[in-house]
A and B are shown apart, each in its own frame.
Chain A
Amino acid sequence: MTNTFETKNGRSHIAAAFAQAQETQSAALMPYFTLGFPDRATSLDVVEAIAPYSDLIELGVPFSDPLADGPTIQRSTQIALENGTTTADCLAMVRELRLRGVDKPFLLMGYYNPILAYGIETYVRDAAAAGADGFIVPDLPPEEADEFEQAAQAADLVLIPFLAPTSNPERIATIAPKAQGFIYLVSVAGVTGARSQVQSDLGEFVARVREYARVPLAVGFGIGTPEQAAKVGALADGVIVGSALVSVADKAEAKSEAAGAFVASLQAGLKKG
């Protein structure tokens, strides 16, 4: 197991997680959960409960206008905001999770405006101090990311770039080789949310990016069952599951148990042999 006392947070922590997952699984598993949903304490319990079955964890920092998200994650972030969740509190939650012994790489997924409001450099520095490893900012394409990227680099954390099925060859050729950590491949043109089927041309998309990439490729958007995870895991290096997990936790009485069991089932779908 990776150990936060030996492994530095950031780039190397992420690389180690992908490498280690490969020993027993077809791909690394990265669940997403919204911090502060349905309330602060429960969200921490959920993350702790899913951690043993996860290789990396994406933590949602709520924003009022999440335009890349579908209804499930929108609702969860809205509830988190109604509960008074702030960006500063999300960073405090990261720290608490580390103190509780959760040692998986954390990727903070949040929109750009709250980061600007917090201050880019301060945000990156506080996130690093809290124990985060990287950032996923859906409305910050590489064209606008210089300042953030520099701040992240200085802290040895990574800003994860996206590529989408719509990304043309020129964009893939410029974005993929420079990527740090991993590349987030959006499986379908659209917003987050569980879908009934995996895109049939996903393999071809992954292959196109792989030609240029020097880091693992993780696929997200629309993956919600162990079968889908297995299918995607056979093609990519990482599988990201968000809306389905949020909705499992939302519906269950015993939220962290249900979330843990669900992520365990996803992991089982990725096991080798």
Chain B
Amino acid sequence: MLQNTTSVPDKHGKFGPYGGQFVPETLMPAIEELIQAYDDARNDPAFMAEFDYLLKSYVGRPSPISHAKRLSAALGGAQIYLKREDLNHSGAHKINNALGQALLAKRMGKQRIVAETGAGQHGVGSATACALLGLECIVYMGSVDIARQQPNVYRMKLLGAEVVPVESGSKTLKDAINEAIRDWVTNVDSTHYLLGSVLGPHPYPMMVRDFQSIIGIEAREQLLNEVGRLPDTIIACVGGGSNAMGIFHAFREDEAVDLIGVEAGGEGIASGKHAARFADLAISRIGVLHGTKSYVMQTPDGQIMETHSISAGLDYPSVGPEHALLRDQERAGYTYATDEEALAAFQTLCKTEGIIPALESSHAMAEAIKRAPTMRPDQIILVNLSGRGDKDLDTVMRALAL
């Protein structure tokens, strides 16, 4: 079942000072309708049963946890466990939310889905869910991302989605979201915007978190059953922040469990070429982007900055509002891994565990590799392995000049 045990957001979609609904009037009625429809759906046992059934029979949930024994031994510290979202059908955690929202769209009578994608995983997840449920799917994707995530572009097309290249601005995820919102505002009566992370106007940050919260619910139970205890530390990468919220949420009240989000450090903070919204407070300040208030990388004049990461899925100038609140409350801590560290972690996981992780997830792995040796062997780090790396082979081959 969806978990919504916390008091945030409030009914205006505020996570403390963050969140909200900063969208044009044309969209406000659609957002009100979505809030109502989601509220009805999550209280409807039939809807929840269908969602659960598809997660089991189609996505392959529960995803297992794997004890990374060789890696843990090599690092000589904490035991590293991996939550295997890479084993989900379509290759990442993104499918959990895509299915939830596609089911909801269908229930709302919306036959047309628009989505944005960076790495292509959310695009693939959306295209997959739409194929399964018989919905039309249009995916907006920056042309820079199309070039670096080709395999996912082919996948989306094979799944029957239309992939629309976005040439405006930095031609990456933020621009794809602009175009998806422009499409939504134009076709709002027939169309649901299937937003892929805990971003955007209320109710998206809450709804996407809820649909992803299955990750933490399962992992918590699995660790208790298989190891007999909770982890000491949970680590997840943070693009918009959906896989991180998904695994954090069920552990929110377990105060002894450290929650760590890992942003994209790109070529290093000093270079300015990164997407570490919480690490570089000189250029990242509270602002409004894509309908929500949170930390935003921007110029002194309030223009949104271009970001950089080797992983398309983390290459975004803002971050989910609930993460901003968790950070203020010191319930979660945030750090970053550079492109280089992520690439090294990528290779390490391949060689020690036989798992090819997504470059996004490799950022979380990099932090686990840094931390494990500082911890005792009887301690546990749980890493959210948010996706698999098939889509990244070209990028990695080029970066390593293989």
Contact = CB atoms under 8 A, between A and B. Distances in A.
A is bound by B: yes
A92 interface: no
Nearest to A145: B22
A253 to B, nearest CB: 27
A113 B169 contact: no
Interface stretch (A48-56, A61-69, A99-107): A61-69
Given A116-B302, A190-B185, A191-B185, 4 more contacts: A67-B178, A144-B22, A166-B30, A189-B26
B343 interface: no
Contacts of B186: 189-191
B24 to A, nearest CB: 5
B108 to A, nearest CB: 15
B24 A74 contact: no
Contact of A163 (B25, B187, B291, B303): B25
B188 A64 contact: no
Contact of A139 (B23, B188, B298): B23
Contacts of A153: none
A167 B298 contact: no
Interface of A: 63-68, 70, 74, 78, 81, 86-88, 112-118, 138-141, 143-144, 161-168, 171, 186, 189-191
B213 to A, nearest CB: 26
B351 interface: no
B304 interface: yes
Contacts of A191: 182, 185-186
A87 B298 CA distance: 14
Given A189-B26, A190-B185, A114 B20 contact: no
Given A118-B302, A166-B189, A112 B30 contact: no
A171 B21 CA distance: 15
A165 B27 CA distance: 10
B181 interface: yes
A63 B290 contact: no
Contact of B304 (A65, A88, A165, A189): A65
A163 B25 CA distance: 6
A84 to B, nearest CB: 10
Interface in B1-46: 12, 20-30, 32
A65 B289 contact: yes
B174 interface: yes
A141 B188 CA distance: 17
A113 B294 CA distance: 11
B22 A140 contact: yes
Contacts of A171: 25, 28-29
Contacts of B288: 112-113, 116, 139
B171 interface: no
Interface in B164-217: 168-169, 174-175, 178, 181-182, 185-189
A189 B301 CA distance: 30
Contacts of B300: 117
Given A74-B168, A139-B291, A144-B20, A186 B28 contact: no
Contacts of B189: 166, 189
12 contacts: A65-B169, A68-B185, A78-B168, A87-B302, A112-B22, A113-B287, A113-B298, A114-B302, A114-B303, A116-B288, A165-B26, A166-B189
B317 to A, nearest CB: 9
B30 to A, nearest CB: 7
A139 B24 contact: yes
A138 B302 CA distance: 16
B296 interface: yes
A193 to B, nearest CB: 10
Nearest to B287: A113
Nearest to A166: B29
Given A65-B289, A67-B178, A113-B288, A168 B303 contact: no
B331 interface: no
Given A141-B24, A144-B22, A113 B291 contact: no
Contacts of A165: 26
